[in-house]
Structure formats: C-alpha cells, structure tokens
Structure 1
Amino acid sequence: MSYSPNSPKRTFNQPYHKFLKSLDKYQTYKYLSYNNCMNIHNTISSHYSNTFLPYHGSQDTQNDKELLDFFKWQKEHEVPLNNFDKIKVHRNPPKTKVHIDVNIESVEDLIKIIDTYPFDNMKEYNIELQSLHKIRPELDQLNSMIGLHTVKSSIVNQLLYFIQGFTQDVHGDYKHTVLTGSPGTGKTELAKIIGKMYSKIGVLKNNVFKKVTRSDLVAGYLGQTAMKTRKKIDECNGGVLFIDEAYSLNNDDMYAKECVDTLCEALSDQKKDLMVIVAGYEKDLNEQFFKINPGMPSRFVWKFNIEEYNPKELYEIFLHLVKQISWKVDKNVTDKWFHEKKDLFKFNGRSMEQLLLMTKISHSKRVFGKDANLKKILTLEDLDKGMEIYKQNVKSAKDNIFYGLYT
C-alpha cells in the first residue's frame, strides 16, 4: 500500500482487516464527491498511519526522516475525520414559481408581459419568458410598423405555437412563407423580423438571412442552375432564404424550372432547418412561380397579403420617418393633405421616403439664410413644393422606362 503517489512504500504486518474495520464508521460518506471531501485520500492515509504506527513503532520508522516529514506535512493539511459531519453538499435553493396567465391577442400583449415580468434566473415561470425577452427588439420593431394588423396577429399565433415547443416532430414543421403585396409595403423588413425572431427562440439554428433574386439562383447553362441554387440553399441552412420578386422565375423558362425543382426538394427535405420566404405580387406569383412545380404551393403554409396603405397610414409613415431623423412637422400638416394626393403614392412606404427627401430639399431652399429656429420644421409650403419635385421625378422615371426599351 502507498501513502501517496510520491510517498515511500511501506508494508505492514498487522492484519488489514483492522484498518478496514476502522473505515466502516465512515461508509455514509461514500457518496460525497471528491471535491467535497477535500482530499479524502490523504485523510485516509493519515488515519491509516495514526492507527497502525503504534503497532509497529519500529526503529526504521522512527529513524526515517523522510517518512516523518511526510506525516508532519499530512497532519497539517488533513481534514480531521471528526469534522466530516460538518461537510455539506451544496444545493441550489428552490426557485420561486411564478404563474403567468394572460390572454394574448396582439404584439402589444407580448410586450406588456415582458415589461411586467423581468426575467430572473432564480424564478421558475410557467411560460418561456426568457425567449420573449430575447425577441423584445424584434417585437418593438414589428409593433412600430404601420398597419399590418392581420399579419401581426398571425405572427403572434406562430410565436405562441413555436415558443411553447409544440413542434416536437423530428422532421419539424413547414415554416415557408409567402408575402404578397405592392412595392414599398414592408415585405423585406417583415421577412427579416420573422427570421430574427425564429432564430432567437430556437426554431432556426442560425441567424442567417439572405435576400436573393433570379440572378442569384439561375445560371447560364442547364445543370449549372441546380448547383447555383443548391449553393444558396446550403448557405442559408439553419436560417432564412428570402426570394424577392419570385415571379421572375416564370413558367416558360427551363432554367427557372431547374431552379424551382431544386428548391422544391429542399423545402421538404430541409424543412426543419430551413425557412424560405418568397415575395411579390400575388397574381404574378400564382400565375408564374407556383405553376412551375405543382408541389410548390402546398409547401408554403403561411401566406400573408400586405394591403396597400391608406392615406392615414401613409401620413403616419411620413411622421415616423421624420421622427427618425430628429426633424419635426408643423401642426398644420394633417392626413387631409395625404388623402388629396393618395393616387400619386403608388409605392406606399417607398413613396413616403421619396416624398420626405424632396420635401427636405424644398425646405432647405426656403430657410436658407433664415433664423435657426425655422430649420428642420417641415411646413405645408415645404410639402407642396416637395410634391412638385416628387411628381417631376415620377414622370421622369416613367419616361426612362420607355427610353430603355428602345436603346
């Protein structure tokens, strides 16, 4: 028997059963961890030496300075056996249970829960409160989007399903989504928000979002398109592949068919780890993209149609954009002005961005050399002059389209 890896070996003539018997009283400690015992090997070795040295206090032992030094060191560092009762196994205190029972109908309801219940590791909640706190920025962003009431409600329903872990099938659920609507209705922004939320709550493994168009998927030769499409799919594994203007992959194009067939296969085989979102005009998507492969429509289980903004919503978008740049709008500017000009805003939110730029340009001309208190406050005059510039640019853009067709 050895005292330690570095101690000198000694063989004792006394029966080992005496030593073993002396350990029986400590058998209740056999489940304690090594760390809690604080070097139990040295403790037992010390007890062994203290127990049996009297039986053979030979001259060899007494004269062995190295062994005596070892005993001395061990005695200074040992844990006395009579102190074992004081050793406690560390256990975390029980968590306080918090029961949250509320009716959820809107994004505001989810945000209210987050505000009411800060997450605490020492508390146990009956809902996935930590996951809700993780997506707070995206919920705020979604809530700040003007309109989209039906879309927001549907997204809340999805979150309540996924956040409770009801999708336990090893193959996962279809998450593929169709966003239809006119340009400037926020489809790209909405797709990014959905992707980030799904990533943060664990529905998607990676925070990957790639926006692609036809040119990113279709190659110049048959055979290459499948490889090009597959590469984009692999890059988005665990995240979101967003195909904007998906109707450009039309039914009469053999290259588009190769792309869509490759995509259709991945929609099923990788439905657990991949989310594909396609966007475009509803009619064009149905007549072009979804007609290429009969299996495509059934794989997109979520369909959101984003309606065009009404004049009041356009006014709210304009005010929101102005606030973002720390400018102000004069109180005489109301939604009535936007009602009168509604037909000119064909591109919804994008039109508001263009209008704001033109209005700022007209404002800069009006306040040049004027008092600083007049600056960065948009008036009706600024809007009217800005609208003239806006209409000129819209007409110019239309003229350029026809010019481009014949040059």
Structure 2
Amino acid sequence: MDTVSIKQEYEKTEIEKVISNLEADLIGLTPVKSRIREISALLLIDRLRKTVGLTSSNPGLHMSFTGSPGTGKTTVALKMADILYKLGYIKKGHLLTVTRDDLVGQYIGHTAPKTKEVLKKAMGGVLFIDEAYYLYKPDNERDYGSEAIEILLQVMENQRDELVVILAGYKERMDIFYESNPGLASRIANHIHFPDYSAEELLEIGKVMLAEQQYKITREGEDVLLKYIQLRKEQPLFANARSMKNAIDRARMRQANRIFENNSQVPLTKSDLVTLDITDFLQSRVFALPTPEVAKPTSPYGMYSQQLQPGEWGQ
C-alpha cells in the first residue's frame, strides 16, 4: 500500500468524535485542548506510518497533568484513555484513578503487593495517580513511597505497551517531585498544564451544572453569581469547578428552604421549583467579607482582614 487517507483513518478510529466531545464538554482550557489534539495527531500519523510499512518508534505515552484542583484533569484523562484505546495503543481503555494511599503500605513488605495489585488492575488502560508528589517523602526514613516509585518505574519502562501512566498534581509540587526523581521525569513525554478558569468561564460552568440538574437562574442571579465567583477566587482552598459545584449545591439548599418557609401553604409552579434567584446566592458568607480595597492584609491567603473559618469556604 503506497497511499493512505487521513480522513478515512480519522473516521474509522472515531477520534474526531472524541475530540469534538472534549471541545463541547469542557469550557475554556484552550491550551489543554490544543495539546490533546497535537498528541492525537502524532499518534494517528504514527498509526498511518505503520500501515504503509514505515519504521515507527513507539511514542512516549506517559503524561503529566499539572494544575489546581477542579480544572478538569480527571475528565481529560478519561478522554485521553478513550483516544488511546481507539487508536490501538491500549487494549482496554479504562481509567483507574488512585492516590498514595492505594499504593503505599504502612509497614515493611506491605507496599509492593499493594502497588502491584493496583498495576494489575490498571493493565490495558490508563493509571491516573492524583497528587503524585505525596509518593515521595525524603524527610521520613520510614516512608515506603520510594518503593512504590521503583516498582512504578519498572512497569513504565518495561510494560509501556500495556499501560499508560498519568501523574497529576499542583505544578510547583510536581516540578519538585520530578527534580527529586530524574528517572521518573525521563519517562514522562507529555507535560500538560491546566490553567485556572476565569470567573466568566466558571459562570458558564455553573450554568451548565444547573441545566444538567434542571435548574435555571435569573439574569440578576447570574450577575450575583459572577460577583460571588470573583470574591471566592480570592479566598483560600478555591477549587475551580469543584467550588462551583459546592456553590450550586448550597444555592439549591437555600432555594429549598426559601420555598418551604414562604410557600408551605401555597401551590407551587414548575418555575418556582426550578428557578434560583439572587437571594439564594447573596446569603453566602463570602458577601459578608470586607472588599479588598478597604481591607488590611492579615493573612497570606489574600487581602481580606476577615477570613472564612474552616468548613465555611464558599458558603
């Protein structure tokens, strides 16, 4: 065979559908989507080269996803697993998400079987290790994380045709983690950074979340929600889309209480049950904080003189 069709291969593998869904499902994240397209293009061309008998080195598939919580890393990992499966680079296409606790034991002889059991379950798919830097604790002589890393390194090198590993976490911590583990860093071919969402993007994400749960928000409510997001982003423990979900859940609870207290004896319309208004958001404690312009900095987390207490974030 001397000729091949990119279009035919694109359609046969259904990669276009996966990438289109990625574009539709995720708001923002333009650099991430571009990087996924680049990786997909490389893998598709590699597949075509094999078809016509050309030499094709096995592309490095292990990845690093860095960014704050709630920026879509797990969602993109799921899409990546689907792409790798459809292109024939993994056999099963499933994603197994784990943390340090799933890999590292508490006593001598416990870590190896735990790690090997996880790797066994992940074979044929993608292993997603969240907050991967917690595997390495050089200050603790009794820590067994290094044993898990050694086993992981062996599998990433010797069984790379059977398993793809994605390491994820905050960028600064992941950079230190890789500096401390050069063998691990050398096996990661693709580094993708997930930027924080803008306030406007988070508003769109919130509206999508509401629509999925068959709720809607008034135009005035959108303005208040946008202001809430802008204030909440200045507070500690902000987690992008996760914080957005928490805000929506609390607003739904306030709406339920509002309806119950004010309309317990009055028949309700469908609109009453699906609409969130400004009061459902204005009750958040975030709005009780002083504004950055008039507050004095008393915390390393921001410019507010009054900080929310633990358990109050985003209420």
TM category (shorter chain) comes to 0.7 to 0.9
Match of 2:309 in 1: 395
| CA distance in structure 1 between the partners assigned to 2:18 and 2:199 by the alignment | 28
Which residue among 227, 237, 241 is the counterpart of 1:349? 241
Match of 1:380 in 2: 278
Q: Deviations over 1:287-321 (max 9, x none)?
A: 2x324432111211111111111110110111010
Distance 1:391 1:159, change over 3 A: farther
Which residue among 10, 14, 23 is the counterpart of 1:132? 14
Distance 1:173 1:226, change over 3 A: farther
Q: Give the superposition deviation at 1:265.
A: 1.6
2:147 aligned with 1:258, yes or no? Answer: yes
SS state of the match for residue 204, structure 1?
coil
Match of 1:314 in 2: 202
Give, as a single letter, the amino acid of the residue that structure 1 aligns with 2:309. Answer: K
Q: Deviations over 1:207-233 (max 9, x none)?
A: 221111111111233444233222322
Distance 1:382 1:141, change over 3 A: same
Q: Deviations over 1:216-272 (max 9, x none)?
A: 111233444233222322322221011011111124154111111111121111222
Q: Deviations over 1:70-123 (max 9, x none)?
A: xxxxxxxxxxxxxxxxxxxxxxxxxxxx977xxxxxxxxxxxxxxxxxxxxxxx
Q: Deviations over 1:323-361 (max 9, x none)?
A: 111111112233574245424241110111111111111
Distance 1:138 1:367, change over 3 A: farther
Give, as a single letter, the amino acid of the residue that structure 2 aligns with 1:306. Answer: F
What TM-score do the two structures reach when normalised by structure 2? 0.78
2:101 aligned with 1:215, yes or no? Answer: yes
Q: Give the superposition deviation at 1:384.
A: 1.1
Which range is displaced more, 264-273 or 151-160? 264-273
Distance 1:232 1:166, change over 3 A: farther
Gaps of 5+ in 1: 1-97, 101-124, 400-407
Give, as a single letter, the amino acid of the residue that structure 1 aligns with 2:256. Answer: S
Give, as a single letter, the amino acid of the residue that structure 1 aligns with 2:184. Answer: M
2:184 aligned with 1:296, yes or no? Answer: yes
Give, as a single letter, the amino acid of the residue that structure 2 aligns with 1:205. Answer: K
Match of 1:106 in 2: none
| CA distance in structure 2 between the partners assigned to 1:323 and 1:348 by the alignment | 18
Match of 2:131 in 1: 245
Match of 2:32 in 1: 151
| CA distance in structure 2 between the partners assigned to 1:356 and 1:378 by the alignment | 10
Aligned 8 A contact 1:178 1:278 in 2: yes
Superposition CA RMSD, Å: 2.9
SS state of the match for residue 203, structure 1?
coil
SS state of the match for residue 93, structure 2?
coil
What TM-score do the two structures reach when normalised by structure 1? 0.61
Give, as a single letter, the amino acid of the residue that structure 2 aligns with 1:302. Answer: N
Q: Give the superposition deviation at 1:173.
A: 1.9
Distance 1:166 1:303, change over 3 A: farther
| CA distance in structure 2 between the partners assigned to 1:380 and 1:258 by the alignment | 53
Gaps of 5+ in 2: 290-307
Identical-pair percentage = 28
Q: Deviations over 1:190-223 (max 9, x none)?
A: 1111112211221211122111111111123344
Q: Give the superposition deviation at 1:388.
A: 3.5
Aligned residues: 275
Distance 1:239 1:344, change over 3 A: same
> Residues 171-210 of structure 1 correspond to what in structure 2 (within 5 A)?
172-210=58-96
| CA distance in structure 1 between the partners assigned to 2:40 and 2:99 by the alignment | 28
Match of 1:332 in 2: 220
Distance 1:221 1:99, change over 3 A: closer
| CA distance in structure 2 between the partners assigned to 1:226 and 1:99 by the alignment | 46
Match of 1:227 in 2: 113
Give, as a single letter, the amino acid of the residue that structure 1 aligns with 2:36. Answer: I
Distance 1:259 1:292, change over 3 A: farther
Aligned 8 A contact 1:212 1:243 in 2: yes
Distance 1:203 1:167, change over 3 A: farther
Which range is displaced more, 224-233 or 165-174? 165-174
Which range is displaced more, 291-300 or 331-340? 331-340
| CA distance in structure 2 between the partners assigned to 1:212 and 1:142 by the alignment | 26
Distance 1:232 1:142, change over 3 A: farther
Aligned 8 A contact 1:244 1:279 in 2: yes
Give, as a single letter, the amino acid of the residue that structure 2 aligns with 1:213. Answer: T
Aligned 8 A contact 1:312 1:335 in 2: no
Distance 1:99 1:292, change over 3 A: closer
| CA distance in structure 1 between the partners assigned to 2:113 and 2:250 by the alignment | 45
| CA distance in structure 2 between the partners assigned to 1:126 and 1:396 by the alignment | 55
